[in-house]
Amino acid sequence: MKRIVMLSVLVACGALSVAVAGYQGQAPQAKLPDVTKVKDNLYIIEGASPVDRSMFTGGNTGIFITSTGVVVVDTKLAGYGPGILERIRTVTNKPVTTIINTHTHGDHTGSNEGFPATVDIVTHANTKANMEKMDAFKGEKAKFLPKRTYTDKLSLFSGNDRVDLYYFGAGHTNGDTMVVYTALRVLQMGDLFAWKDAPFLDRASGGSGVELPRTLAKALAGIKDVDTVIPGHHPVTTLADLQEYQRYTADLLTETQAAIKAGKSVDEATAASTVTAKFKGYRSDRLKAAIQAIYDELKR
């Protein structure tokens, strides 16, 4: 048993260092927290901030209990399948029937392999294509790739169980799904809104700092009847915080475009940036990397 866990730790490290440069060398050894109730029939297992590596288990995992089974949204780093199942057992005995991966990264798809191969796995079509390139889904592991994909919108189940999946364009990657638990008025964002900090723009997976503010604006206009938001890594929050984050990403883009026009270097642009101060409670751990990504995208 121990050997299997160690092996999956090693596999996760290798896969992550390829897939997500920002998470290089992070072994999934932190303990999973207990479930946190969001609303009736909806829980999350928090992922903790990637800034605190000792607590990091991956992204927030959604657990939605429907009349026929459990929907798991994002599966954290590799090696957490048994732990996630154990946490689910504290709130329901129903089987896991469906996994939704909001995007390709190993801290959101890593423990797909910890669930029975019969579980339906659903993602955006671009995310499936991105996952197919990951070592973690090659060979035997290909059975944990998505079985069902969509391009613009997909509804699963009906009545109080209904879950709507939306894609509004590139942002964090080119396949970010927003998940709406319609009866509960809850929106799970994945890393399109990961934290209150500059976005991680994964250009190798089709991410775009130019598109991100537009994608979020389209989502805010197109998704109705939501009051609660589950970010990719930050604790559960409000729709107002998502609206604020959209403004943050728009301001970051505007100020970076101006810095490029003024001939500033990335370091100068980062030092002169005012977005962190403008938005209360925001950090700047990822500011320089985001500005660099927008420079790379616009300067070609």
Q: Which stretch binds Zn ion (CB under 5 A): 83-91, 187-195, 263-271, 290-298?
A: 187-195
Nearer to Zn ion, 105 or 128 (CB): 105
Residue 234 binds Zn ion (CB under 5 A): no
The least distance separating Zn ion from the CB of residue 105, rounded to whole angstroms, comes to 4
Q: Give the binding range for Zn ion (CB under 5 A) out of 9-17, 87-95, 190-198, 243-251.
A: 190-198
Q: What minimum distance in Å lies between the beta carbon of 36 and Zn ion? A: 20
State the minimum distance, in angstroms, from the CB of residue 156 to Zn ion.
Answer: 22
Structure tokens at 222: 């197109």
Backbone phi, psi, residue 188, to 5°: -100, 125
* Contact pick of 46, 74, 161, 191 for Zn ion (by CB under 5 A): 191
Q: Of 14, 11, 3, 2, which Cα lies nearest the Cα of 141?
A: 11
Neighbours of 251 (CB within 10 A): 16
The letter for the amino acid at 19 is A
Shortest distance, CB of residue 26 to Zn ion, whole angstroms?
13
| CA pair distance 180, 225, nearest whole angstrom | 10
> Cα separation of 120 and 145, whole Å?
10
Q: How far apart are CA 199 and CA 195, in angstroms?
A: 8
Q: In this structure, are residues 200 and 193 in contact, taking their beta carbons and an 8 Å threshold?
A: no
Quote the least distance from Cβ 7 to Zn ion, whole Å: 24
Please count the residues of this chain forming the interface with Zn ion, following the rule CB under 5 A.
2
Helix (H) or strand (E) segment spanning residue 99: strand 96-100
The Cα 250–Cα 171 span in angstroms is: 12
Could you give the string, one character per residue 88-107, with x where binding to Zn ion holds by CB under 5 A and - elsewhere?
Answer: -----------------x--
Please say which residue, 69 or 106, places its beta carbon nearer to Zn ion: 106
Nearer Cβ to Zn ion (105/196)? 105
The least CB distance from residue 172 to Zn ion, in Å, is 6
Residue 71 β-bridge partners: 64, 98
Compare residues 87 and 105 and give the one whose CB is closer to Zn ion.
Answer: 105
**DSSP H or E run through 284:** none
| Of 50 and 79, CB closest to Zn ion | 50
Question: Which chain residues interact with Zn ion by CB under 5 A?
Answer: 105, 191
